[in-house]
Structure 1
Amino acid sequence: MADTASRPRLRDSVIVQADGGTLLFLCLADRTVKRFTCDEFVKAVVVLLDGTRTIEEIGALTCGGAAGAGARVAEVVQILEHERLLSRVAAPEPEFRLLGVARAEFYDRQLRLFQDFCDEGWARETSGAALQRRLAGSTAVICGIGGLGGWVALALAAAGVGRLRVCDFDRVEVSNLTRQVLFRMDDLGTPKVDAAAVRLRELNPFIEVEAVERRIGCAEDLAGVVKGADLVVNAADQPTPNDVAGWVSEACWPDIPHIMGTGYAYHIGVLGTSIIPGLTACWSCVRAETFADHGRDGMETLVGKRDKAGAMGALSGLVGNILAWEAIRILAGLPPALGDRWSEVDFWPLEIRSRPVPRRPGCPTCGG
């Protein structure tokens, strides 16, 4: 039962329609519809659930102060609360402004989205502003700032991840410009991390960006890069995607969550997996599950992966933004979506296909 001193408010993602003695609650967040039989009293109460009135005040308006009015309103509120149709805060804007007026305005739409996640019960926090604070206090590392990592970095910067560390060794080439959103013609020949850092700082003045120009050849090369990070996103593919993924995971284990996106080419984008130490399967489990597919682990490579593969910006952006969304979920304390499975997106039918990757009880890395 909601406290009688509270000021109940419908979630912003809920639309209410009436047809005689029927109320429809249209939940835009998940496209569900909840139907209730009601009378005129209930309709009147629902219209007043805007967070500005207590239950007793709503009762006075709907029943003219009649005895038991507050209890009748409380009963309606209890049902709506049980159905998760009410917000967990009476007025979100004052909570948002605690971030500072400039930040509240900058992140306004995102804060409202976060608030709905809280209202749905996906977060321990009650206010979307609390999730934004978690992002602001986080450090994320993006390994590889090319066609995939550039989109990841852009989305994390726009979301307000407080400290971004971008790592790459390459320089901007003209072929990069069709699929990498951080670079311009004027950047040709510039280290990718330097050009990226300039764009990211321009996009969001409330974050810090560190550029690390480094070629990765082993896990030790990443030790200083990932130190202090709350999350690492692997978007690098040189010398090979599997080599870099192994080094990233080794450098992160056992303390740092890491997302193992391994790229895209032609009409397949590899979303990979999220590894949360202690909670999900580790990289060793993933390799054990997938490496022997079709007996490939015992085969000799005659023709290997080409240096240049078919790609375009719309497709790299799709994969990169999915990985960024997963990163935001992890950093904000929301449930991750890509753990304990290996996922790929097929651009042609626009389908995400996943296969389970369970933790192995005897895994030498995470089995204990």
Structure 2
Amino acid sequence: MDGDELLFLCTADRTVKRFTADDFVKRVVVLLDGRRTVDDIERMVCDGDSERRADLRDVLTVLSEERILSKVGDVAEEFGRLGGERAEFYDRQLRLLQDFCDEGLADCASGVQLQRRLDGSTAVVCGVGGLGGWVALSLANAGVGTIRICDFDRVEPSNLTRQALFTAGDTGRHKVDAAAARLRAVNPFITVEPVNRRIHGPGDLADLLDGADVLVNAADQPSANDVAGWVAEACWPDVPHIMGTGYAYHIGVIGTTILPGRSACWACVRAETFADHGRDRMESLVGKREKAGAVGALCGLVGNILAWEAVRVLTGLPPALTGRWTEIDFWPLELRSRPIPQRPDCPACGAGSLTGTPG
């Protein structure tokens, strides 16, 4: 407050709003601390005065229209609907989800509703190495109700610097077993289903996708492109899939989110990017190195972006990666995106078709 001016500074999105305000307005604002009902405030500031009651309604209307008031009256009471232990466990996350609701970014009024969507959802993570391990860990922290993790590998000493789910004591264990134990320890309210399997084709994914709400692809064996094609075929036309494909040197491939029937499919992505740099005309003379360099901080950066995208899909918040292909250059810390249009003649997703198979 400054003289006759009332200033609201939202530290979440750096929004600043200024209003001319008299002493009555300032008194009302001070009382809007989430601990009092509108009736309580009316008794305190209006004292039966009908004109003051009209003024109070005007103040509340303006604050509501400017999205300054929360859509839930008593935040603590609302969070408590999850149950005491869950409300305490997810407290900071619920506050953020409530902010999204209050800002009109969600299709519901309560952050508890968004959390319940996570609680009731199933996410599949293919590959729990440098990227997938971070994805699974963040989804577990967020409270995704069921997480299915699929990998065939065992933990090696060289994994430990960048793969968040393992310790030195896990060396030699199947990754999915060690990862499942860690995820269950992180969040007692979730279910983890480990699947020790090497993917050879789309058929190997069928049971993993039973009841799934999203799949995050972080597998790269036998190659990132092979697995991406199999994932796209297995997920079509029912399961949203996030195609993050890895990292090399200082480039992290965040990829794209495919919403079947609503966005460009994997075939559209391949058609748009396959000829980049003339690759479609190249003949390989020297094979790429078998293993690329990596550091944990960069794996975590890409993996957590993919996890945040999955949370958006599962809660109904607008996905950020749909309809474009995104990479991050770690050196200048720049995101680079290009649009991926939904091709009208695509046999899989064109003209609203859901009968084809992207590949």
TM-score range, shorter chain: over 0.9
What secondary structure is seen at the aligned counterpart in 2 of 1:197? helix
What secondary structure is seen at the aligned counterpart in 2 of 1:281? coil
Residue number among 111, 123, 126 corresponding to 2:106 in the alignment: 123
Q: Is the 8 A contact 2:46 2:53 kept in 1?
A: no
The residue that corresponds to 2:356 in the other structure is none
Deviation at 1:172, TM superposition (A): 0.4
Residue number among 73, 80, 83 corresponding to 2:66 in the alignment: 83
Deviation at 1:128, TM superposition (A): 0.8
- What per-residue deviation string (whole Å, max 9, x for no partner) do you get for residues 34-85 of structure 1? 1111111111111111234444542442344323111101111111111111
Distance 1:136 1:67 in 2: 46
Which residues of 2 match residues 132-143 of structure 1 at below 5 A? 132-143=115-126
The residue that corresponds to 1:299 in the other structure is 282
What secondary structure is seen at the aligned counterpart in 1 of 2:82? coil
Q: Is the 8 A contact 1:55 1:70 kept in 2?
A: no
Distance 1:326 1:243 in 2: 23
1:144 paired with 2:127, answer yes
Which residues of 2 match residues 33-72 of structure 1 at below 5 A? 33-72=16-55
- What per-residue deviation string (whole Å, max 9, x for no partner) do you get for residues 105-148 of structure 1? 11111111111111111112211111111001000000000000
1:246 paired with 2:238, answer no
Instruction: Tell me whether 117-126 or 149-158 shows the greater mean CA deviation.
Output: 117-126
Count of residues in correspondence between the two structures: 351
1:178 paired with 2:158, answer no
Gaps of 5+ in 1: 1-17
Q: Is the 8 A contact 1:135 1:328 kept in 2?
A: yes
- What per-residue deviation string (whole Å, max 9, x for no partner) do you get for residues 266-317 of structure 1? 1111100000112111111111111111221122222233211110000000
Q: Is the 8 A contact 2:122 2:145 kept in 1?
A: yes
Which residues of 2 match residues 304-323 of structure 1 at below 5 A? 304-323=287-306
Whichever residue aligns with residue 42 of structure 1, its letter is: V
What secondary structure is seen at the aligned counterpart in 1 of 2:118? helix
Residue number among 280, 284, 293 corresponding to 2:267 in the alignment: 284
The residue that corresponds to 2:251 in the other structure is 268
The residue that corresponds to 2:211 in the other structure is 228
- What per-residue deviation string (whole Å, max 9, x for no partner) do you get for residues 1-53 of structure 1? xxxxxxxxxxxxxxxxx111111110122111011111111111111112344
What secondary structure is seen at the aligned counterpart in 1 of 2:321? coil
1:21 paired with 2:18, answer no
Distance 1:161 1:83 in 2: 32
Distance 1:334 1:287 in 2: 26
The residue that corresponds to 2:317 in the other structure is 334
Distance 2:42 2:90 in 1: 36
TM-score (norm 2): 0.95
Whichever residue aligns with residue 82 of structure 1, its letter is: E
Q: Is the 8 A contact 1:24 1:35 kept in 2?
A: yes
1:211 paired with 2:201, answer no
Distance 1:324 1:56 in 2: 42
Distance 2:176 2:104 in 1: 38
TM-score (norm 1): 0.93
Q: Is the 8 A contact 1:268 1:346 kept in 2?
A: yes
Q: Is the 8 A contact 2:180 2:193 kept in 1?
A: yes
The residue that corresponds to 1:5 in the other structure is none
1:190 paired with 2:173, answer yes
- What's the RMSD between the two structures over aligned residues? 1.2
**For residues 56 and 158 of structure 1, do their structure 2 counterparts lie closer, same or farther at Cα, with a shift above 3 Å needed?**
closer
What secondary structure is seen at the aligned counterpart in 2 of 1:19? coil
